[in-house]
Amino acid sequence: MRLAAALLILTALGAAPAHAQDATNNTIVYRVKQGDTLELIAAEFYGDRTKAVFVMVENKLTHARPLKPGEKLRIPVSRDVTSAAGDTFKSLAETYLGNPGRGRFLAEFNGLPPDDGLPAGTLITIPFTIVHVAQATESISDIAKAYFGDGKNTELLRRYNFLEKSALDKGEQLIVPVYHVRLSAAKMPALDAESKARRDHRREASARVAKALPAARQAWKDGDFAGVKGALAQIAPDLDYLDAAEAVEVGVLLGAAHMAYDDDELALASFKRAVDRQPQYALRRYDYSPRVLAVWQKAGGKIE
């Protein structure tokens, strides 16, 4: 019934010209088997019969029809990517979603804070997208109902498309990010070797920092600055693979320890890496000496 309702709305909105966003969307080619229906294929790939509407839109089917064994269908799918050092939500959004301004949405879709630096080796899910072409004046609310089943995502669609208005004129396009539909685990393509290596590196770095940070904190409390440097020496090269909070703590501790040995250049480099990962992070004025705070500010850090 939900599928029928969605198809009815899509027909009214003019679904025929809608198509997957070719430049940034991946599809899987599926060869129809005897007894297959659109609903069964949706259940196989998405785990939900009611998501057949996306298979129909991708294949420009305006209504449900019997499928012929052997015919090929394109199945639109979300996919996982593994971030590399230097990647940000903005850069990933530009690559996969067509606009760096969608970085905040990509972070939200993955349940991650949009303003922190993205650790290398992080698994990020990229939603597939549909481009809806208005065949008449259409409200964004009705389009949201067609693709999401209700109008709750109306504001998301408007902001995602950088629109001030609440309706489309005939011929205008609206990009719909289908973030709530994922490929079944059994159907997900395997990560390539490079992506796996980054993912494994992140896991290993997280394990190392879990052991090193407590030792470095204790050494700092004891005034053992050599101990701080020794505890973090093996972690510093992996800063790009750590969570932002961990990366900042390592960078600040290591930078302050370098300053204890009057090595302001190394301290500045450590502080800069911390600031790059979490620009909004601020040092407490009463926790550090004026000299440390001066170098921290030179690195672009904030003070509270």
How confident is the model over 205-259, as pLDDT tens digits?
Answer: 999 999 999 999 999 999 999 999 999 988 888 989 999 999 999 999 999 999 9
Domain extent listing, the chain: 2-78+127-181, 193-303
Q: CA-CA distance, 184 to 75, in Å (whole number)?
A: 12
Q: CA-CA distance, 235 to 247, in Å (whole number)?
A: 9
Whole-prediction pTM: 0.79
Q: Give the model confidence (pLDDT) of 5-44 as tens digits.
A: 455 445 545 544 444 444 455 788 999 999 999 999 999 9
Q: CA-CA distance, 295 to 290, in Å (whole number)?
A: 9
Q: Can you give 174-204 as a three-state secondary structure string?
A: EEEEECCCCCCHHHCCCCCHHHHHHHHHHHH
Arch. (CATH architecture) of 193-303: Alpha Horseshoe (1.25)
Contact call for residues 151 and 144 (beta carbons, < 8 A): yes
